[in-house]
Structure 1
Amino acid sequence: MNFRRVASTMISLVLSFSLIVGCSNSNETKGNNVAETPAANQQDNKKPDAEPKANEEPVSIQLMVPSYSDVPDLNNEYWTEWQKRSNSKLTVEWIPSGDYDTKFDLVLASGSLPEVLVATNVTRPTLLSSIKQGAFWDLTELLGDLSEYPNLKSNTEPNVWNYLKLDGKIYGIPRNRPHIDVAINIRKDWLDKFNLPVPTTMDEYAAALKTIVKGDPDGNGKDDTVGILGHGFLLDDGDSAYLSAFGGMEPIFNSEGGLVKDQLTPNYTDMVAWFRDLYENGVLAKEFLAIKKTQAEEMFATGRAASYARNIWRDYTWEQEIKKVQPEAELITLPPMQGPAGVSAYLATPMFGAMFISKKVPEDKVKEILAYMDRTATMEFTDFNYYGIEGVHHTLVDGQQVLTDLGKKQVTTNSNQVFAMAYNNKMKVLNPSAPKAYNDAKLASVQVFTEVGRINIFSVINSDTWTATWPKFEGEWQSMVAKAIVGQVSMEEYSEYVDGLNSKPEFKQAYKEFAELYKAKFE
């Protein structure tokens, strides 16, 4: 294929992509099949110990939440038992996840709020504006030191409450999620085929992938194997893991003390240069920015790529799928690899947004809602959320819960949306379809991520100036990244472009605002 034609196609795709893809990054699992649902806990499913008093009336709660699978019947076996155990009567408006941001903004603009509104991004400008206008309860005094809400205190990652603060106040209940989530995997059988060791550095990783893509690992006689697979811009889910190896998860300040946005740091530029080399050597697909998520998943599941950074729990499912066409397939999670300025270990923010209570709700009802949130923020409820009722939704096989056909139908990702969950680092690692020995080994192998990984600080801090300014430049910047990677512009030209953005007064003001919020939340 003509190089200039490929480059031009890539740039056009980037410009189109920037118009249709939002900034949110959802880590929720989509689908209602067991293979699409990560596990929370694989111990015996105990009955929740936070039982309501016998004479206590169920709390009625109206919620608006995102939907990641079929809209559930709240009268089915799972939801009937959930409401019984949690002493609640739920009325839920399920909004398709792809439409949720639009619906969320419309509801805020209308002022007609449900009692509890889920926000998947706590730095969303429309949410912050509504909070400042008094649309939601300030929960700071009601929560106090959390002594009256012991589960929300002990079963939430310690830093989350600080991440949630706006001007020193707490307005939301965190939707707890694990730190350990996305990691870089690789086809171990292909490493073995070419007598390559498991990479421990980014240089070894790059060299291994260059060898694999040039060696026809699937033996089909075609030069069609992708080294690093991704979807969206740049690789979407995998960006932070790679950037971490270049020091991009650390705070980078300019000469004026401003906190530079991660994608405009020298570290990100170094990562772009690294991808440029891989693209030149055929490790990235020629039109990698055009690959959609469903296409990428299908490519990986059919053995056409060596490495793909996604949720760790998916490894077992994909390995089983790949074995259907390549029986020797073995997929492993790579350990944190040493890069030029860090390691390839990215920690997800330990919350996927928060739940906010409308100011129109009376204070007594607010306390009832908080009691429900605390009552359900246990590992027992979280485990029930993944496996349902023993004998109905799951059976025990070798001490591990295995979903029944009814369980696969009724126990879906939508079950996550109506409570805080209990923080744990298992739910995005364990796969309910995998043998216990596999899950135990996988969990043990990734614990090191919590020791060396970093979260992206920009997931919990915001800047009004950045929000107003960046959309004007985002498409142009994405185009420049694509041009740099495919070789249409030099790295010097790309660096000069980034320097030009960083020198603009509005960017400097945004960086000043970022720095102030960083100090408030992290220092």
Structure 2
Amino acid sequence: MKQRFVSLLLTAALGAALLASCSGEGGGNAADREGGEKGATPIYIYQNTGALNAKPEGSVPAELEKMKQHYVEKLNIEPIAIIPPQGGDAAKEKLNLLLGSSDELDTFNGNWDDYAPKGAIIPLGDLLDEYGQDIKKAWPQEAWDYMTDKEGTIWGIPRGMPATHYPIWIRTDWLKKLELEMPQTLDELEAVLKAFKEGDPDGNGKDDTIPMMTDLNGIKNALLGGYTEHGNSNWFDSSDQMLKPAELAPGFKDFVAKMADWYQKGYLYKESFAKFDPLELLKTNRVGTSSMWYSRITLLFPQIKANLPEEADYEIIRGIQGPKGKPMTASPGSTTAQLITKKSKNAAAVIQFINDQYKDIPTNSLTAAFGTNWRYVGDSKFEVELTNPEIAYAGEYMLSLGTATETAYAFKDPIKEMHADYLNKELLQLDTAKMPVDATIIYDKVQLQENIPTLGDIDRLRSEELVKFVTGARPLNDFDAYIDQLYRAGLDQWIAEYTKQYNEKKQ
């Protein structure tokens, strides 16, 4: 009910707020003209980019003020940060309230195809042409394609490219202790998981090891490709020329059966499909492998490594194969972007502010992220380190997150080095995974909702029932009945609409 109330509030209030904003200054002037004699041009930033991960509560006020003055003096722009509440639902609710109210808000991070149909954001093409030349140069055309609708309108500034986010990590010290080889097939991985479960590699004398830490996205994106030709992807059925969901692909039932078997045997963490804290789990020294989003290891493990046995280490299992090849499915580019609100009074200043972070990569983006708390190591403009482990400025003004900036440097800092190495050496290695069949297709969400009235029900069934099968809450011999259930929920309409859009948009 709470989410429905917020949605209704946004719908009701957004129209009035946007109508009022249309009579304002708009985004046509540069910051020096927008500020004029009144001083620096203010821009209001909803900082939901993820830049605050290391310090979600935000900066020490005095340090934030120093950074604000840096941009006032450099650009004549006064950035004003709005810190989201912690927790995904609360942060989204706060954003919706800001969008639907008369409160100032210039820019936020989100999927442009969620907000453009609602009239909540503005096109950026002309603004980028005039004030964002460095932004445009930083991203290849493929990234801009994901920002562009079928009429050729650019709605956002990219965040990323197709990438590999779900490798399988393994405790190499446990392999050595149990005299095991690095697994090269999923069958060999299963044997390792069994050994981790039964061999007490953590040495605590208890039957409490966690062979694999994972979640719903982890099993689909890290493992499904080993059992189906296209992995966690829609697929084109040549028998009837229709695009279909992964659940209908040959091999999907085999995948479900294997995951259910692993779960029943205790190879998968028993709370994999509920809420749990990966950092706290890693602290226990009981996690043998991980198939979750890569940063659950690259960002979290270095933080607690000093409290684990000295030899503790995680490495990626490279070259592993399943019956149908590579287990991992790459993530396609997405419509996630830095957006400018329709009610923004100073949109040009927002583009100028972001463009500055792309003007001298990585120097200016590092400053936006870490303030003065960083420096280059030696003569190279690649290796960097923090000058103080205590974070005072948290990154409220960092709006250039993404592969264009984050793969341009690497941290010498041991806490950040593992993450930086993954970004620079692994993230864009697409040959280690299967690319989704429709990776380049941007589906029209409005048309999907209109032409598939039960889309939400189908999506819910696809996630909830898979969890039931894996955890044993629903027996595997119900799988055919589950497929029938999807069809009763409107899967024929789903297939027809996705196929239609796929055929229209494929290049």
Tell me the TM-score normalised to structure 2 length: 0.74
The match for 2:58 is: 71
Q: Which runs of 5+ in 2 are unaligned?
A: 5-30
Matches within 5 A, 1:224-263: 224-231=208-215, 234=216, 236-237=217-218, 239-245=220-226, 246=228, 247-254=230-237, 257-262=241-246
Q: What letter corresponds to residue 58 of structure 2 in structure 1?
A: V
SS in 1 for 2:205: coil
Give the one of 496, 499, 503 matched to 1:512: 496
Q: What letter corresponds to residue 372 of structure 1 in structure 2?
A: F
Q: CA deviation at 1:224?
A: 0.8
Matches within 5 A, 1:353-502: 353-361=336-344, 365-378=346-359, 379=361, 380-389=363-372, 393-395=373-375, 400-405=383-388, 408-412=391-395, 414-416=396-398, 418-419=399-400, 423-424=404-405, 426=407, 433-434=413-414, 446=426, 449-454=429-434, 460-461=442-443, 462=445, 463-465=448-450, 468-473=453-458, 476-501=461-486
1:27-80: per-residue Cα shift (whole Å, max 9, x none)?
xxxxxxxxxxxxxxxxxxxxxxxxx99x99754323333265113447433343
The match for 2:70 is: 81
Q: What letter corresponds to residue 197 of structure 1 in structure 2?
A: E
Q: What letter corresponds to residue 334 of structure 1 in structure 2?
A: I
Q: Quick one: structure 1 residues 507 and 240, their matched pair in 2 at CA, closer, same or farther if it must change by over 3 Å?
A: same
Q: CA deviation at 1:158?
A: 3.0
Q: Quick one: structure 1 residues 487 and 64, their matched pair in 2 at CA, closer, same or farther if it must change by over 3 Å?
A: closer
Q: What letter corresponds to residue 431 of structure 2 in structure 1?
A: E
The 8 Å contact of residues 212 and 268 in structure 2, kept in 1 or not, is answered as yes
The match for 1:289 is: 273
CA distance in 2 between counterparts of 1:215 and 1:337 reads 23
CA distance in 1 between counterparts of 2:109 and 2:424 reads 32
Q: CA deviation at 1:256?
A: 5.2
Give the one of 275, 291, 301 matched to 2:283: 301
Matched length: 451
Segment of structure 1 superposing worse, 432-441 or 396-405: 432-441
Give the one of 301, 309, 326 matched to 1:326: 309
Segment of structure 1 superposing worse, 393-402 or 379-388: 393-402
SS in 2 for 1:76: helix
CA distance in 1 between counterparts of 2:425 and 2:356 reads 32
Matches within 5 A, 1:337-348: 337-348=320-331
Tell me the TM-score normalised to structure 1 length: 0.72
SS in 2 for 1:90: strand
The match for 2:167 is: 183
Q: What letter corresponds to residue 242 of structure 1 in structure 2?
A: L
CA distance in 2 between counterparts of 1:119 and 1:84 reads 26
The 8 Å contact of residues 197 and 207 in structure 2, kept in 1 or not, is answered as yes
Give the one of 86, 96, 101 matched to 2:85: 96
CA distance in 1 between counterparts of 2:264 and 2:336 reads 39
Give the one of 62, 67, 71 matched to 2:44: 62
Q: Which runs of 5+ in 1 are unaligned?
A: 1-18, 20-51
Q: CA deviation at 1:268?
A: 4.4
Q: What letter corresponds to residue 339 of structure 1 in structure 2?
A: G
1:323-377: per-residue Cα shift (whole Å, max 9, x none)?
5242221211222522233423444455672233334457xx5444333333322
The 8 Å contact of residues 314 and 431 in structure 1, kept in 2 or not, is answered as no
Q: Quick one: structure 1 residues 60 and 519, their matched pair in 2 at CA, closer, same or farther if it must change by over 3 Å?
A: farther
CA distance in 1 between counterparts of 2:319 and 2:102 reads 47
The match for 2:23 is: none
Does the alignment pair 1:335 with 2:323? no
Matches within 5 A, 1:209-228: 209-228=193-212
Structure with greater contact order relative to length (CA < 8 Å, sep ≥ 6): 1
Give the one of 147, 152, 155 matched to 2:138: 155
Q: What letter corresponds to residue 76 of structure 1 in structure 2?
A: E
The 8 Å contact of residues 209 and 288 in structure 2, kept in 1 or not, is answered as yes
Q: CA deviation at 1:259?
A: 3.0
Q: In percent, how many aligned pairs have the same letter? A: 20
SS in 2 for 1:95: coil
CA distance in 2 between counterparts of 1:328 and 1:493 reads 45
